[in-house]
Amino acid sequence: MNTTNKTLLMIRAATQSSDFVAELKVANPVVYAPMVNIEPLNVDQVLPNVDPVIFTSSNAVRLYADKTQNRTIDTLCVGTVTARTATRFGFRVLQSFEHAQGLVEHFRRSTKPKKPMLYPRAETVSLDIAHKLGEIGYHISDPVLYRQSFQPLSKEGREKIESSPVLVPIFSREIAKRFRESLISINPCDLTLVCISTPVAAIFTDSSGFSVEIAQKPTRAALIEKIKACLSA
């Protein structure tokens, strides 16, 4: 089989999907079928003037940047895309981490004075950073800036899965749950799911009719590497 004919089906929010495809740099056809929408919340909320700011997503960076003209703050970022977005908006990135747990462990090991920090976030998060850092003595303000709302898989996405070889990157447990529900009424032709971590892949443990691959580490870079390996296998 010509692996360049395997379609990459992107089910994340539109902006995140296009950013990921640009970084992936493959010749395969791409279908965008977002199952996630980003809904800004508390748009009139005044944020405390606290430095540094923790960003764990590019969505948080964009929405925070809309609320302030201050670009002199220091930031700590989770993920290369988050750090890149923060830099693009003019913020100074002190340090970036591959995943949220790495950021928490960094502060567990730190011997510096425990400064207050700001953590603008989504309504639902996979790791409660504010709580974790609060347990070790940090004061974290964590205003909710946006909500991820979900929608069913599009007709185009369903038809593509049923008619041709398709690879779907899966980034989180929440989107994994929604996508698994969509698969109940779909008969895949040749479907490969590439999950960012073992907990995400576990959502599909009792499923059949498709293959599930897992990135070597729970990072964007490792996910990209696994996707490229699957497309060239």
* Residue 212 lies inside a defined structural domain of this protein: yes
* Residue 111 lies inside a defined structural domain of this protein: yes
Q: Are residues 82 and 167 in the same domain?
A: no
* Residue 173 lies inside a defined structural domain of this protein: yes
Q: List pLDDT tens digits, range 118-140.
A: 999 999 888 899 999 999 999 99
CB 91 within 8 A of CB 85: no
Of the three residues 101, 120, 147, the one that is the final residue of a domain is: 147
Q: Are residues 29 and 52 in the same domain?
A: no
Residue 129 structural domain: 48-147
Structure tokens given for 214? 């897992």
CB 92 within 8 A of CB 70: no
pTM for this entry: 0.77
* Residue 66 lies inside a defined structural domain of this protein: yes
Q: Are residues 65 and 140 in the same domain?
A: yes
* Residue 180 lies inside a defined structural domain of this protein: yes
Please tell me the total count of domains within the chain. Answer: 2
Of the three residues 147, 163, 181, the one that is the final residue of a domain is: 147
Q: What is the mean pLDDT of each run of 10 residues along the chain (233 residues)?
A: 75 90 92 94 88 94 92 92 94 94 95 93 91 95 93 95 97 92 93 95 90 92 94 83
Cα torsion 42, 100, 110, 83: sign: negative
Q: Are residues 156 and 191 in the same domain?
A: yes
* Residue 20 lies inside a defined structural domain of this protein: yes
Distance (Å, whole) CA 85 – CA 65: 10
